[in-house]
Structure 1
Amino acid sequence: MLQNKSVIYALVILASPILFALAVFPDTFSLGWNQGRGGFLFAMAFVAAELMGLKLDIPKKRLIAIIPIAGVVIVYLTSLEFGLKHYLVSIAPQFHVLINDSWTWMWDFIVIAIFFMVSMTVLFGKRWIRISPAGPIYAAGTAIILSLDAFFPYDSLGPLQYVVPYLVKIDVFLIGLFHMGHATAHGNAMFLVGDHGPFALQVFWPSAGVHSIIIYSLVMMAFLLKMNIPRNRKLGYFAMGVIGTITVNIIRIFSLSIFVLKVSTNVNEFESFHGIAGEIMFLPWLFIFLLIVTYVETKRIKKLGTVQHESDTSK
């Protein structure tokens, strides 16, 4: 019971800056990956999922040691409202930043990622990378993606934009296959004609969900790192996850098209849907996939243990 309590105390302290921001600045939380702090909640969910049920007693001194670290993050979040955010925006041109919002949110995720990593190191030492890596790495991955969006928005980052035309062509094919409307593709642009009239949709790498492949790769590699399973199984799971994430991205673009074809061509309504469509598909998929892998491997290990026990007994 003491072990469970110490883990719960750790989770409360780790979550305190996020809960503070959620309570004091609720308007800053949005499911859009580049529109707010919604990613904080998902990062914390990863941390909680990995720490809950952990059979490890965390010393009281270590719990107390991370409280000031959480306090520093709370001070940072508060300072943003008292001039720090304005300062970050003011220096953005010096670094050739093209999208200020992504630039400012990037710093939030850098801070929360560092907070998680430092706190985990205090709590578990170097073992944290094998105990609870997903949350910190998800936050760090989001910071990386936001930095790319801040410095190389739209189609300016060639390697990430390269795959988008192919995803657009698949989307046009699906629209025709299911007779949802008329669609043509030209590079990364789609021209749609549906129930509410014509609409031109230009797809850039963030809208196509290319960033989710990067985040998936980082989180999945961290997740597989701590699993004691054969390498070929790790590679198999990783490949299946990539295929699943690409499928989710195709569904993501398809859903945006369906919204235009069947729901509305109003730009504001489309932007509202566009802002959350990707994350409400990708993050549940990632959670579910990790749970499935955990379930399958746990069941497999138990089965192997039973077989081994029966073999030893027969001898």
Structure 2
Amino acid sequence: MAEIIGVKLHVSKKRILATIPLAGAAIAYLVIREHGLKDYLVGVAPQFNVNLVDSWTWMWDFIIMGAFLIAAVSILFGKRWIRIAPAGPIFLCGSAAILSLDAFFPYDTLGPLQYVVPYLVKANVWIINSFDLGTAIAKENLMLLRGEHGPMALQVFWPSAGVHSIIIYSLVMMAFLLKMNIERKRKAVYFVIGILGTIGINMIRIFSLSVFVLKVSTDPTKFEEFHGIAGEIMFLPWIFIFLLIVTSIETKRMKRLVS
């Protein structure tokens, strides 16, 4: 949406109608997933040496949605889709790739991606102790928390720290900026601001998980439910809003230059 706003494109009704069966197939996958397909994927996971089943099943969601979107924009825009709307497919396919890494190489198997995690953990513990939200101790990628509902230890690995969101943001933003007709310095500024913002969102994510333990519950099941959605409900709105802001700023700037 952020990419095609303000772009004058003529798409025939036939092309639009041709995407409906694709949308139907994607929706059918999501329905079938909840009626047996997910259980099948869980069952075959050991055959592929999958270590994290949740990332494995979620990976297929992104693969299917990525394939649907690439097929849809190819029908709507032809080969031009790579210049017109690459951000969505890159986000979905990038997420699928990250989830595959998490499924087959979990926890701290991929050392380089784990490198920044201890620094984020220490920063989070400092914030908790500074605001007296509870007791927090950091040791490498381990957080020892004690709050209103008792103690709990959280071991933070690179996906939970949001390292994957920085990678995905970088891919999406590079595709988005490369096709914008603005100076390289401005592109670099937007890119760096976005990286800093994404790191900030990741810090908020780790902080929110900690606050959940300190103030809401130390029940592992409830924590996993919140942990499973915390990252996406923060990262997706952030990247969408940031892309819209960049688009709005540059659109207004171009109008001023033209006038």
Q: What TM-score do the two structures reach when normalised by structure 1?
A: 0.74
Alignment of 1:134-153 (within 5 A): 134-153=87-106
86 and 63 in structure 1: CA distance in 2 versus 1, 3 angstrom threshold: same
Aligned counterpart, 1:235:
188
How far residue 102 of structure 1 moved from its aligned partner, in angstroms, is 2.0
Alignment of 1:1-315 (within 5 A): 48-51=1-4, 54-74=7-27, 76-77=29-30, 80=33, 85=38, 87-306=40-259
The alignment covers a number of residue pairs equal to 259
> Which AA in structure 2 matches 1:184?
I
| Aligned 8 A contact 2:2 2:244 in 1 | no
54 and 159 in structure 1: CA distance in 2 versus 1, 3 angstrom threshold: same
| RMSD of aligned Cα (Å) | 2.2
- What SS does structure 1 have at the residue aligned with 2:180? coil
Aligned counterpart, 1:18:
none
Alpha-carbon separation, structure 2, partners of 1:63 and 1:173 = 53
Alpha-carbon separation, structure 1, partners of 2:125 and 2:194 = 24
How far residue 77 of structure 1 moved from its aligned partner, in angstroms, is 4.4
| Aligned 8 A contact 2:2 2:247 in 1 | no
259 and 81 in structure 1: CA distance in 2 versus 1, 3 angstrom threshold: closer
Question: Once structures 1 and 2 are overlaid, which stretch shifts more, 108-117 or 58-67?
Answer: 58-67
- What SS does structure 1 have at the residue aligned with 2:181? coil
Alpha-carbon separation, structure 2, partners of 1:195 and 1:64 = 56
- What SS does structure 1 have at the residue aligned with 2:244? helix
261 and 80 in structure 1: CA distance in 2 versus 1, 3 angstrom threshold: closer
Alpha-carbon separation, structure 2, partners of 1:258 and 1:96 = 35
234 and 188 in structure 1: CA distance in 2 versus 1, 3 angstrom threshold: same
Q: Which has the larger radius of gyration?
A: 1
268 and 231 in structure 1: CA distance in 2 versus 1, 3 angstrom threshold: same
Question: Once structures 1 and 2 are overlaid, which stretch shifts more, 142-151 or 297-306?
Answer: 297-306
How far residue 282 of structure 1 moved from its aligned partner, in angstroms, is 1.6
Alpha-carbon separation, structure 2, partners of 1:156 and 1:239 = 28
Unaligned runs of 5+ in 1: 1-47, 307-315
| Aligned 8 A contact 2:2 2:243 in 1 | no
Unaligned runs of 5+ in 2: none
78 and 255 in structure 1: CA distance in 2 versus 1, 3 angstrom threshold: closer
239 and 195 in structure 1: CA distance in 2 versus 1, 3 angstrom threshold: same
| Aligned 8 A contact 2:137 2:143 in 1 | yes
1:72-106 alpha-carbon deviations (Å, 9 max, x no partner) = 44554455467655554444333211122322221
108 and 234 in structure 1: CA distance in 2 versus 1, 3 angstrom threshold: same
Alpha-carbon separation, structure 2, partners of 1:117 and 1:267 = 38
| Aligned 8 A contact 2:3 2:176 in 1 | no
How far residue 280 of structure 1 moved from its aligned partner, in angstroms, is 2.1
Q: Percent identity?
A: 68
Alpha-carbon separation, structure 2, partners of 1:56 and 1:65 = 17
Alpha-carbon separation, structure 2, partners of 1:72 and 1:95 = 26
